[in-house]
Chain A
Amino acid sequence: MIYLRLIYEFMKIGLFAVGGGLATLPFLKDLAIKTGWYTIEDLMNMVAVSESTPGPLGVNMSTFVGFVRGSFLGGICATLGLVIPSIAIIIIIAIMFKKFKDSPIIEKIFFGIRPASIALIASAGYSVMKEALFNFELYSQTNAILDLFKVSSIIYGVILYIVFSKFKLHPIFYILISAVIGIIVKF
């Protein structure tokens, strides 16, 4: 049953994605590869939509994936799956709040998890960039090194990065501009 499968897969994500925001991305990438429910390109579109709508990124992306796979009910199942571990863990912690806050064991475990969680996001970013900025398929056919790079995409990416680090406007703003530029330039 697809709904039970969605709850199960997203409970796993809710249990292991630590750090909020894009922390769910590597798990969703893994799920895409494992199940073929959606492509990496679809996933990037989902990130853009989730960034541009209210609500936490992880919750929005989970609803989106669930919706793509199992329509409205699928979206609900995926999202509930995602938050069930949170609810359980937080309630346990809330009951023994003081102990958790000063626990040296938790501190030690997170010493390892923090860099790992960032590495996973970076790795998901790497797959996404491979898709958007490079053209490995064309390169393997022609073997011409220039065919490997999507030159106009890379140039636009660099410009956007510089502008983005200079002017910290809300991501929606940059997503909208990029949509317009995409229509004009046809990357």
Chain B
Amino acid sequence: MKELFELYFLFLKMGSVCFGGGYAMLPILERELVTKRNWCTKEELLDYYAIGQCTPGVIAVNTSTFIGHKLKGVVGGIVATLGFITPSIIIISILATIIQSITHLPVVEYAFSGIRICVCVLILNATINLWKSAVKDRIGIILFLIIFILSSFLNVSPVILIVLAGFFGYLYKTITGGKEK
């Protein structure tokens, strides 16, 4: 029981210092879990991280569940994840309350009009970086364009598009993979 508390509060602590999630959390995890506590090796951590990236859900949450599970089984996985999301819930709830009560002020309105342009730039930048790392061949580009059009102009649900794309990838690789051999 004491160990579960320790697990919960460690992940709570990491959740409250890691800005932006994703890649930003890797050095923090490494320091707390590998260097300070020796709870897993660096290789294990990178493996968990890689799997967290290619499974559904938020990467940081997936990695937390993985480490928690390794240390304390199913309960550990749940406890680590709950610890990690606790700061988000508290901080965002407080901020959302404040923002909702001041959002009608002209100054706040203008500030957010500038911030929204910044958000555009952030999203554009993230998209370009992801594109560089994952869209490498012609079939990837075609798939990208088809999904982009279906989502932007025909408002097809992202759930359906992800399922179709996964199915397509499986079929395509099965057919062409056989030929290459």
Partners in one complex: yes
Interface residues of A (CB under 8 A from B): 12, 14-22, 24-27, 30, 33, 41, 44-45, 47-51, 53-60, 63-64, 67-68, 72, 75-76, 79, 82-83, 85-87, 89-91, 93-94, 100-101, 105-129, 131-133, 153, 156-157, 160-161, 164-165, 170-172, 174-175, 177-183, 185-187
Q: Which of B124-181 contact A (CB under 8 A)?
A: 124-127, 130-131, 134-135, 140-141, 143-148, 151-152, 155, 157-159, 161-170, 172-174, 177
A45, B166: Cβ atoms under 8 Å?
no
Q: Nearest chain A CB to B18's CB is how many angstroms away?
A: 6
A115, B115: Cβ atoms under 8 Å?
no
Contact A44 B119, CB 8 Å, known A55-B88, A123-B151: yes
Beyond A18-B162, A174-B118, 15 additional contacts (C-beta under 8 Å) are A55-B87, A56-B58, A60-B88, A63-B92, A108-B170, A109-B166, A109-B167, A110-B166, A116-B164, A118-B131, A121-B123, A125-B127, A133-B117, A157-B121, A179-B112
Q: Nearest chain B CB to A12's CB is how many angstroms away?
A: 6
Q: Nearest chain B CB to A5's CB is how many angstroms away?
A: 16
From B77, B116, B146, give the contact of A48 (CB < 8 A): B116
A118, B169: Cβ atoms under 8 Å?
no
A186, B110: Cβ atoms under 8 Å?
yes
From B93, B100, B114, give the contact of A178 (CB < 8 A): B114
Contact A67 B96, CB 8 Å, known A83-B61, A93-B51: yes
B117, A58: Cβ atoms under 8 Å?
no
B56, A18: Cβ atoms under 8 Å?
yes
B27 within 8 A of partner (CB) = no
Query: How many residues in B have their beta carbons less than 8 Å from beta carbons of A?
Result: 95
Can you show 28 pairs from A to B with CB atoms below 8 A apart? Answer: A15-B57, A19-B130, A20-B21, A20-B57, A45-B112, A48-B119, A49-B92, A49-B95, A59-B88, A60-B91, A63-B93, A75-B92, A86-B57, A86-B81, A90-B52, A91-B69, A108-B172, A111-B173, A112-B172, A116-B147, A118-B144, A119-B147, A121-B126, A160-B121, A164-B121, A180-B111, A182-B110, A187-B114
From B52, B116, B119, B170, give the contact of A109 (CB < 8 A): B170
Q: Nearest chain B CB to A90's CB is how many angstroms away?
A: 4
Q: Nearest chain A CB to B82's CB is how many angstroms away?
A: 8
Contact A55 B55, CB 8 Å, known A21-B22, A121-B123, A164-B121: no
A121, B115: Cβ atoms under 8 Å?
no
Q: Nearest chain A CB to B27's CB is how many angstroms away?
A: 14
Output the residue of A67, A131, A182 with the most chain B CB within 10 A. Answer: A182
- If over half of A's interface residues share one DSSP class (helix, strand or loop), that class is named, otherwise mixed; here it is helix
A116, B161: Cβ atoms under 8 Å?
yes
A60 to B21, CA, bound (A): 10
Which chain B residues lie closer than 8 Å to A127 at the CB level? 152
B123, A182: Cβ atoms under 8 Å?
no
Q: Nearest chain B CB to A39's CB is how many angstroms away?
A: 12
A47 to B117, CA, bound (A): 12
A126, B152: Cβ atoms under 8 Å?
yes
Q: Nearest chain B CB to A98's CB is how many angstroms away?
A: 10
A123 to B156, CA, bound (A): 11
